[in-house]
Amino acid sequence: MSEKITADKNEDFSKWYTQVCSPEGAGLADNRYNVKGSIVHLPWSFKILRKIYSLLEDRIEADGHEPVQFPTLIEEESLEREEEHSGFAPEVYWVTEAGDKELDRRLGLRPTGETQFYPMYKKWLRTHTQLPMKYYQSRINVFRYESHARPFLRGREFMFFETHDVFRDQDDVDKQIQTDKAIMESVFWDKLKIPFQFLKRPSWDKFLGAEATYAADTLMPDGRRNQMSSTHDFGTNFAEAYDITYSDENGDTQHPLQTAFGPGIWRIMASVIGIHGDNTGLILPSVIAPVQTVIVPILFGDEDENKAIRQRCEELRDRLEANGVDVKIDDSDKRPGWKYNQWEMKGVPSRVEIGPRDLEKDNCVVATRFGEKTTQDFDDAVGAVQDALDSVDEQIEERAEQYFDDNTVYTEDYDELCETLEDFEGFVKAPFYDIEGDEAASYAEQLKEDTDGGYVCGVKEDTSKATNKECVVSGKPASHIVYIAKSY
């Protein structure tokens, strides 16, 4: 356990998370900014977040999306045009003055992008030959007046990413939803090693104005659901509200169908911190590590010897960089042990140590974030570092998969469900009446009250049907097997 991270992750996750994020910990965020609920992203987290953005941008553009960027301000009329969407209104920050002049109409800071994109889609879309229309905006911030704020989980200003797509028919919509799921699998799991369930939300928990909402839910170590992304099937609801139309092959005017996909950049970051980290600090998959290997020269009093060690470190740095590895030489005046601890706390996957004995024997020591150490011939150091990075990624994946599997259970008994949610840190699967309608919503509300916050998160569409089962809450015939968990 690090001197700067004193909390045990498994015993007090909240305190551990705060310590890891702090400037004194892994140096991710400083929440002492003088606007409450806002944080300063420190260099280490900002570099990680940029890499996460890049992974998503590459996949989104490969799917045919074009990048755009909209202004931060939106008109109030645009926000209110979609009656259901105006549910965001209590969370919106309003601008009412400019300099010493009061504005004729107040302007909102964007809480999300629908009210920005769709007035412009009305202007841009004319004919069926323009479909599908697929745009995204990235590396922006949105603003919502949240009552509680926590770095990378909930805030009043946070990083955002969104796609907004327009289609002719439902088949194209359904294909896009599956494509969004595949993008999440390729980024969240294949690259970042974050396990998740792709769930269809119940009707009472879908996005306002959507026909259906699908979300990627993972589990944090305190057992709470962390929604990392959402895909919304809007049907023609927003097209009708914003009068978005096109002319079909016969010259008839049609409202298009629309989807939106929002990977939660902050929530993804929180998952990386919480799921992969340990009592020493962060553990980063190599693909998002700002430094993939740190080279630590071990220096003593002999200046000629120290010069030779530094030269050897620089030679290895150049060779590693030529092979695509992000490298840093830590030649600060701190002791080697301090450097080891510092870079381990920041989650750097691998480390190379070069000292007098290594210089003499023409070798080096290669270490991983999980504590394995091997002595390698210097000529083989590049391959050894690459092997170390692969090993760390494989171990991260194995640990995450085991963690997720161990934190999902099944029950058909309501008392057992309530008891499980009181202590269990994970998903509980159970048969449930339905995911549509007021009656089902009332059973979900009862569950929430009886379990102090247990949510019906949704269903996996391919495996959700309940056969000859009774609803765990009402005892009536169940239609689905749902996932239940507490949430942030």
pLDDT, mean over the chain:
95
- Tell whether 84 and 195 lie within a shared domain: yes
Among the three residues 248, 276, 304, which one is the final residue of a domain in this structure? Answer: 276
- Token couple for 76: 């109030």
Find the mean pLDDT for residues 480-486. 96
d(CA 68, CA 57): 12
pLDDT in tens, 231-253: 999 999 999 999 999 999 999 99
d(CA 24, CA 5): 9
Residue 465's pLDDT band (cuts 50, 70, 90): confident
Give the distance from CA 179 to its chain's centroid.
Answer: 18
Residue 346's pLDDT band (cuts 50, 70, 90): very high
**Closest C-alpha among 160, 170, 143 to residue 37:** 143
Residue 141 has pLDDT above 60, yes or no: yes
pLDDT in tens, 404-413: 999 999 999 9
Residue 289 has pLDDT above 60, yes or no: yes
Find the mean pLDDT for residues 424-449. 95
Q: Which domain holds residue 64?
A: 53-276
Cis peptide before 111 (omega within 30 of 0): no
In a domain, 75, yes or no: yes
Determine whether 2 is exposed, middle or buried from the number of CB atoms within 10 Å of its CB (0-12, 13-18, 19+). Answer: middle
Find the mean pLDDT for residues 329-339. 96
In a domain, 425, yes or no: yes
328: domain CATH number?
3.40.50.800
Find the mean pLDDT for residues 3-31. 95
In a domain, 316, yes or no: yes
Q: What is the pLDDT of residue 461?
A: 76
pTM of the model: 0.95
Task: Provide CB contacts within 8 A for 128, sequence distance 6+.
Answer: 168, 246, 247, 248, 249, 254
Helices 43-62 and 170-184 pack at an angle, to 10 degrees, of 140
- Tell whether 182 and 74 lie within a shared domain: yes
- Tell whether 256 and 292 lie within a shared domain: no
- Tell whether 381 and 474 lie within a shared domain: no
What is the domain count for the chain? 3
> What is the three-state SS of the chain?
CCCCCCCCCCCCHHHHHHHHHCCCCCCCEECCCCCCCCCEECHHHHHHHHHHHHHHHHHHHHCCCEECCCCCEEEHHHHHHCCCHHHHHHHCCEEEEECCEEEEEEEEECCCCHHHHHHHHHHHCCEHHHCCEEEEEEEEEEECCCCCCECCCECCEEEEEEEEEEECCHHHHHHHHHHHHHHHHHHHHCCCCCCCEEEECCHHHCCCCCCEEEEEEEECCCCEEEEEEEEEEEECHHHHHCCCCEECCCCCEECCEEEEEEECHHHHHHHHHHHHCECCECCCCHHHCCCCEEEEECCCCCHHHHHHHHHHHHHHHHHHHHCCCCEEECCCCCCHHHHHHHHHHCCCCEEEEECHHHHHHCEEEEEECCCCEEEEEHHHHHHHHHHHHHHHHHHHHHHHHHHHHHCEEECCCHHHHHHHHHHCCCEEEEEECCCCCHHHHHHHHHHHHHCCCEEEEEECCCCCECCCCECCCCCCECCEEEEEEEEC
- Token couple for 223: 């057992």
Task: Provide CB contacts within 8 A for 462, sequence distance 6+.
Answer: none
- Token couple for 25: 């910990």
Among the three residues 344, 365, 391, which one is the final residue of a domain in this structure? Answer: 391
- Tell whether 124 and 173 lie within a shared domain: yes
- Tell whether 226 and 163 lie within a shared domain: yes
Residue 463 has pLDDT above 80, yes or no: no
- Tell whether 384 and 250 lie within a shared domain: no
In a domain, 45, yes or no: no
Find the mean pLDDT for residues 26-32. 97
- Tell whether 109 and 191 lie within a shared domain: yes
243: domain CATH number?
3.30.930.10
In a domain, 32, yes or no: no
pLDDT in tens, 200-211: 999 999 998 899
Q: What is the pLDDT of residue 285?
A: 98
- Tell whether 318 and 185 lie within a shared domain: no
- Tell whether 265 and 301 lie within a shared domain: no
In a domain, 187, yes or no: yes
In a domain, 7, yes or no: no
pLDDT in tens, 106-124: 999 999 999 999 999 999 9
- Tell whether 418 and 382 lie within a shared domain: no
Residue 87 has pLDDT above 70, yes or no: no
In a domain, 295, yes or no: yes
d(CA 389, CA 12): 30
d(CA 99, CA 163): 34
d(CA 144, CA 111): 6
440: domain CATH number?
3.30.110.30
d(CA 116, CA 119): 6
- Tell whether 312 and 418 lie within a shared domain: no
Q: What is the pLDDT of residue 78?
A: 84
Residue 477's pLDDT band (cuts 50, 70, 90): very high
Residue 467's pLDDT band (cuts 50, 70, 90): confident
pLDDT in tens, 439-448: 999 999 999 9
